[in-house]
Amino acid sequence: MSTPQERFKRAEDVAFFKAGAFGPPGGGKSMLAALLIIGAYRRWKCTKPVMLFDSDRGGKFLKPLFDHAGIELLIDDESLSLKALRDDLLYAEKEASFFMIDSIADPWSEVCSTYLKVSASGRNYIDIGDWPTIFRTWEKEFEIPFKAAKVHAIWTSKPKGLYDSVVDIEKSERSGKEVLKSMKVDEGATGGKQTEFGPGLTVECRFEIRQGKRQRVIEVMKDRFIQLNGKILEFKEPLTPGGEIDFAELIDNNPTFQAFLPHFARINPGASASQHSFDDDSSSVFFVAQRDRADNEFYARRNACCDEMQNLLTMRFPSTSGADKAAKLKLTNWLFGTTVWEHVQRVIPMNDIELGMYELKIIFADNDVLQNIVLWDGVSAPPAEQKLRLRDQAEELKMTTMTQSASRRPNEKSEFDRLIENSARRQLPVAGKAVLSDMQIQCLIDLAKQAGKSEKILYAWLKSRGISDLRNESPRRFEEIGKMIAAWLNTEFSKMQLAA
What is the structure's pLDDT at 147? 87
Residue 118: φ, ψ to 5°: -95, -15
Q: Which of 372, 364, 363 is nearest to 390 (CA)?
A: 363
Coil, strand, or helix at residue 205?
strand
pLDDT for 411-421, tens place per residue? Answer: 555 444 554 44
What is the structure's pLDDT at 48? 95
Coil, strand, or helix at residue 215?
strand
Half-sphere exposure for 136 (CA within 13 Å, toward CB)? 5
- The stretch 344-352 carries a mean pLDDT of 81
> Cα separation of 456 and 49, whole Å?
88
Q: Would you kindly state where each structural domain of the chain is located, as residue ranges? A: 15-264, 293-408, 415-499
> Cα separation of 239 and 244, whole Å?
5
What is the structure's pLDDT at 431? 37
Confidence band, pLDDT 50/70/90 cuts, at residue 298: low
Range scoring the smallest mean pLDDT among 121-125, 158-162, 183-187: 183-187
What is the structure's pLDDT at 162? 45
Please state whether beta strands 232-235 and 213-223 pair in parallel, antiparallel, or not at all (unpaired): antiparallel
- The stretch 193-212 carries a mean pLDDT of 74
Confidence band, pLDDT 50/70/90 cuts, at residue 121: low
Is the per-residue pLDDT at 13 higher than 80?
yes
Helices (H), 60-190: 63-69, 82-95, 105-118, 131-138, 144-148, 169-175
Confidence band, pLDDT 50/70/90 cuts, at residue 174: low
> Cα separation of 204 and 190, whole Å?
13
Confidence band, pLDDT 50/70/90 cuts, at residue 490: low
Highest mean pLDDT among 83-87, 204-208, 387-391: 83-87
> Cα separation of 180 and 186, whole Å?
18
pLDDT for 248-261, tens place per residue? Answer: 888 888 999 999 99
> DSSP for 89-125?
HHHHHHH-SEEEEE-THHHHHHHHHHHHHHSTT--SS
- The stretch 395-413 carries a mean pLDDT of 64
Is the per-residue pLDDT at 402 higher than 80?
no
Higher-pLDDT residue of 368 and 196 is: 368
Give the bridge partners for 180, in sequence order.
Answer: 167
Is the per-residue pLDDT at 296 higher than 70?
no
pLDDT for 426-485, tens place per residue? Answer: 443 333 445 667 677 777 787 777 777 777 778 777 877 777 777 777 766 777 787 787
Highest mean pLDDT among 309-323, 380-394, 434-448: 309-323
- Positive or negative, the CA dihedral 490, 494, 499, 500 is positive
What is the structure's pLDDT at 420? 46
The number of angstroms, rounded, from the C-alpha of 149 to the middle of its chain's C-alpha atoms is: 27
> Cα separation of 73 and 53, whole Å?
11
Is the per-residue pLDDT at 385 higher than 50?
yes
Residue 336: φ, ψ to 5°: -125, 0
Fold for 15-264, please state it.
Rossmann fold (3.40.50)
Higher-pLDDT residue of 67 and 129 is: 67
Confidence band, pLDDT 50/70/90 cuts, at residue 295: low
- The stretch 371-381 carries a mean pLDDT of 84
Q: How many Cβ atoms sit within 10 Å of the Cβ of residue 366? A: 12
Higher-pLDDT residue of 359 and 465 is: 359
Higher-pLDDT residue of 249 and 176 is: 249
> Cα separation of 71 and 78, whole Å?
22
What is the structure's pLDDT at 399? 77
Q: Which of 349, 350, 332, 331 is nearest to 341 (CA)?
A: 332
> Cα separation of 159 and 162, whole Å?
7
Q: Which of 122, 182, 147, 164 is nearest to 19 (CA)?
A: 147
Peptide bond into 103 cis (omega under 30): yes
Higher-pLDDT residue of 310 and 440 is: 310
Asked if residues 350 and 439 have their Cβ atoms less than 8 Å apart, the reply is yes
pTM assigned to the model: 0.53
- The stretch 160-177 carries a mean pLDDT of 56
Coil, strand, or helix at residue 53?
strand
